[in-house]
Structure 1
Amino acid sequence: MPVFLVLFLVVPLVEIYLLIEVGQIIGALPTIGLCVLTAAVGGALLRQQGLDTLARARRNLDEGHVPALELFEAVALAVGGALLLTPGFATDVIGFACLLPPTRRLLVQFALRRVNVVYGPAGRPGGGQGDRGRRDPRTIEGEYRRRDSDR
């Protein structure tokens, strides 16, 4: 519940406060222009960084490696792009942090230290990386022959 409280109550209130403060300093139209400018620059940066990340992922796949880091970076890019499209300055700061390579890598490494990544067959108990070569005890092997009733 606290996450939703922050997302839907605290973040918009902080954004409104910052927009009002910046608007009082530089004026309403320049503030709106600044919001539009950050969205445009963020969109261009998102496209460029997304293509770079996609190229690295393809290169890793071609070399036979799992592009795990690139997948997490793609998630960070998507979050950053969404935050940059949200009007406001606090979300823009976080959005640009997700788009710039050095800070994005720090954010991804921070997230990876806090999650346990297991890959392998989905929905299978213990189906992680170290489970290769073992058979699923629920699998029954056998042969069958189709017998039609009219023959």
Structure 2
Amino acid sequence: MRRPYWLLLLLIPALELYGFLWVSQQIGAGKTILLIIMTSIIGFAMLQFEGRKVIADAKLQMNQGQMPGNKMLDGLCVFLGGSMLVIPGFITDIIGFTLIFPLTRPIYRKLLYRWMEKKMKNGSITFRRF
């Protein structure tokens, strides 16, 4: 069954445009642009800090002989969150910040784990050893 990804490609920019218009009516266009720029800068700084932290924690776990499974999912969340922060808009910024923020990241990690488990069970994702 084909999923309507094209609907998301239309819906997300429309929601972001609505968000821009609504916020600019509330606080003004100049402040809205400044807010978008500030959230991008703060998000980029958080991305760098959290990304380095995740990589350091994963290296520490590997040096101790442990598999860094949760840290790898954390790294994926940080990468996805950073990608969303690059896209200008308030909705993507909110999702991006919650993906990067360490207190809300476990929610997404659990969702990613369930998604990957489902894909592995139905054979969509396979792992091979070289």
- The reply to whether TM is greater than 0.5 is yes
Would the alpha carbon gap of residues 62 and 119 (structure 1) be closer, same or farther in structure 2, given more than 3 Å must change?
A: farther
Gaps of 5+ in 1: 123-151
Question: Once the two structures are aligned, what percentage of the paired residues are identical?
Answer: 31
Equivalences for 1:34-113 in 2 at 5 Å?
34-113=35-114
Aligned to 1:121: 129
**Structure 1 residue 3: deviation in Å?**
2.5
CA deviation string 1:114-150 (max 9, x = no partner): 322565516xxxxxxxxxxxxxxxxxxxxxxxxxxxx
Which runs of at least 4 in structure 1 moved beyond 4 Å after TM superposition? 117-120
State the aligned residue count.
121
**Structure 1 residue 84: deviation in Å?**
0.8
Inter-partner Cα distance in structure 2 for 1:45 and 1:19: 23
Q: More displaced, 87-96 or 71-80?
A: 71-80
Gaps of 5+ in 2: 121-125
Inter-partner Cα distance in structure 2 for 1:34 and 1:4: 29
RMSD over aligned CA atoms reads 1.5
Inter-partner Cα distance in structure 2 for 1:114 and 1:55: 26
TM-score in terms of structure 1 length: 0.75
More contact order relative to length (CA 8 Å, sep ≥ 6): 2
TM-score in terms of structure 2 length: 0.87
Higher helix share: 2
